[in-house]
Amino acid sequence: MKIKQLSIFIENQPGRLYKALEILAQEDVNIRALSLADTSEFAILRLVVNSPEKGMEILEKNNFIVKLTDIIGVELDDTPGGLTKVLKILNDENIDLEYLYAFTHDQTSKAILLLHANDLDEMINVLDSNNVKIVPADVVYNL
């Protein structure tokens, strides 16, 4: 159920993001979703890819520091208010969100919201009991 996200340490220097993505492209690792948290000196690049283990291996081989981080994907209506509906639930239930990002794809009229929280299992429980659909990891990898 949990999606394995690649978290990559990137220096805030010209060309570093390109380098990381180029390596993945060369090895046919396909990116499903991406987010970048940046500071003046470094950034954390977060990727959901079709093959997380393979992605990690080739990035590490090229001297990147990578961690596999568990996150959750939930399905949203791709309409105005779709995102806030889910956020309201998390807010009402006092879930401490660390970060989130979202993407749409062309197979359904749904969007997928990717979430990370301090306590992932608690978040899963909350979402389950509020009938929010959690997307299985395999589905996300293979979209």
Looking at 77, 98, 119, 138, which residue binds other proteins (CB under 8 A)? 98
128 touching other proteins, by CB under 8 A: no
41 touching other proteins, by CB under 8 A: yes
44, 7 Cβ separation under 8 angstroms: yes
Looking at 3, 4, 10, 135, which residue binds other proteins (CB under 8 A)? 10
51 touching other proteins, by CB under 8 A: no
| DSSP SS3 for 15 | coil
Distance CA 76, CA 103 (A): 10
Nearer residue to other proteins within complex by CB, 63 or 94:
63
Note the maximum CA span of the chain: 45
Distance CA 102, CA 124 (A): 17
Distance CA 40, CA 65 (A): 19
Residue ranges that bind other proteins, judged by CB under 8 A? 5, 7, 9-11, 16, 37, 39, 41-42, 44, 46, 63-65, 67, 69, 98-99, 116
